Amino acid sequence: MLVHGRVRVQPRRGRWRPYADGLFGFDYIYTKTSLDEANDCSGSSCPSVVEATNLDDWVPSYGVGAGVMVGLGSPGSMWLDVSVRYLWGGEADYLTHGAIQHVGDTVIFDTSRSRTDMVAVYVGVSFGR
């Protein structure tokens, strides 16, 4: 999950409205596991799947972006918005497939750690000014 504030520089008029963005915020990464207990339970009130979030991490993130809004239809009513953003993120801890091990009654989490940099491409439609 990405949570960012944005500052945008863009002309207010024209059918073609290029823009540049500056972003600052956070990335939230989590690992959720599930266990199917349908065979270990009897009765109609038994859950079939148990889920748990085993590891989560919030890391700071900032970035830049550029795009263009192209007016569609009557002036100012609908816009095609196409952009690309590059986000530099901090290092986050997470679990990969097979990273949860059981040794007797002890559960061991073999965490991985990596940067959360990403390139994001957006295509959308916006309405209004």
Q: What is the DSSP string of 41-54?
A: --STT--SEEEEEE
Kindly calculate the radius of gyration of the chain based on its CA atoms and give it in whole angstroms.
Answer: 22
- Is residue 95 a part of any domain in this protein? yes
Residue 115 DSSP SS3 = strand
> What pLDDT was estimated at residue 35?
60
pLDDT at 103: 80
A 10 A CB-CB count for 72 gives 12
CA angle 81, 83, 84 (to 5 degrees): 165
Tell me, what's the pLDDT at 50? Answer: 58
**Cα-Cα end-to-end distance for the chain:** 28
Bridge partners, residue 28, by sequence = 58
Q: Which residues of the chain have pLDDT under 70?
A: 34-54, 76, 129
In a domain, 30, yes or no: yes
Position 71 in a domain: yes
pLDDT of residue 111: 80
What is the three-class DSSP state of 20? strand
**Residue 23 domain-assigned?**
yes
Whether 42 is in a domain gets the answer: no
d(CA 51, CA 30): 13
Q: What is the pLDDT of residue 37?
A: 55
Q: How many domains does the chain fold into?
A: 1
For residue 49, the model assigns a pLDDT of 57
Can you give the residue range of the structural domain that contains 54?
A: 2-36+48-127
Domain contains 41: no
Confirm whether 120 is domain-assigned.
Answer: yes
pLDDT at 18: 97
Per-residue confidence (pLDDT) for residue 30, from 0 to 100: 81
